[in-house]
Amino acid sequence: MKFKGRMELEQGLKQIDIAPLVNILFLLVIFLMLTSVFVLPPGIKVNLPKALTSDVIKRQNINILVTGENLTFLEGKQITPQELKEFLKEAGKRGQTLLIKADSRASLGRVVEIWDLARDLGIAQVSIATDQQ
């Protein structure tokens, strides 16, 4: 038993038009792009000084951040000088290296103070982060 409606559909449908499908996909992509929220990771803004002779460091370092207001941060948390001293003492025992990221407005005295403290506590490699020009 053959159905007439089915035969007409099979004979009349030779090719599928994909233009409407492509249009819908483009609309979905545009919708997702416009409605998505681009969130930047939270952090502390620091303007690094510029240097022509800076090198790229590829080792894992302890990152200490000094802001323009001379606040000291370790792993995103503000720390006191006593906490910094204890942390650097442990890092010196493990033989880790230190990277100081200081704002260009930060006090040079504060940066040198951290540098001296690190060297006194056994950290042999101390670097200062800069932006390449």
Q: What is the pLDDT of residue 106?
A: 86
Q: Is the pLDDT of residue 57 over 60?
A: no
Q: Span 50-132: which CATH code?
A: 3.30.420.270
pTM score: 0.57
3-state helix, strand, coil in the chain (%, to 5): 40, 15, 45
Averaged over 46-71, what is the pLDDT? 74
CA dihedral sign, ordered 66, 60, 113, 76: positive
83-124 confidence digits (pLDDT tens):
999 998 888 888 888 888 888 888 888 888 988 898 888 888
Q: Please, what is the average pLDDT of the chain?
A: 80
Q: Pick the residue with more confidence: 3 or 120?
A: 120
